[in-house]
């Protein structure tokens, strides 16, 4: 039987779990891509925001391409 505290706690539904996972995964992918972009330019200082924005655009482009391919197969 659940205690009063347990019953007041918000329940994490499968839908909520799915909706938060892609954001975390996306941010991790962007961070990794930004690292490799910075590595290519020799880690020169002052361009970390540009690295992040370029990485973000790259990841979004790849995601859109995958989504289109997935939709085309159906």
Place of tokens 């790259």: 58
Tens of pLDDT along the chain (74 residues) come to 455 554 555 555 444 444 445 777 999 999 999 999 999 999 988 889 999 999 999 999 998 888 888 888 76
pLDDT at 49: 95
Are the C-beta atoms of residues 59 and 26 closer than 8 Å to each other? yes
Q: What are the sequence ranges of the domains in the chain?
A: 14-73
Place of tokens 């085309």: 72
């Amino acid at each position: 039987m659940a205690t009063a505290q347990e019953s007041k706690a918000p329940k994490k539904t499968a839908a909520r779990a799915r909706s938060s996972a892609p954001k975390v995964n996306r941010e991790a992918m962007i961070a990794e891509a930004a690292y490799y972009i910075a590595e290519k330019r020799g880690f020169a200082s002052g361009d970390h925001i540009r690295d992040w924005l370029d990485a973000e655009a790259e990841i979004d482009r790849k995601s859109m391409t995958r989504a289109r391919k997935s939709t085309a197969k159906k």
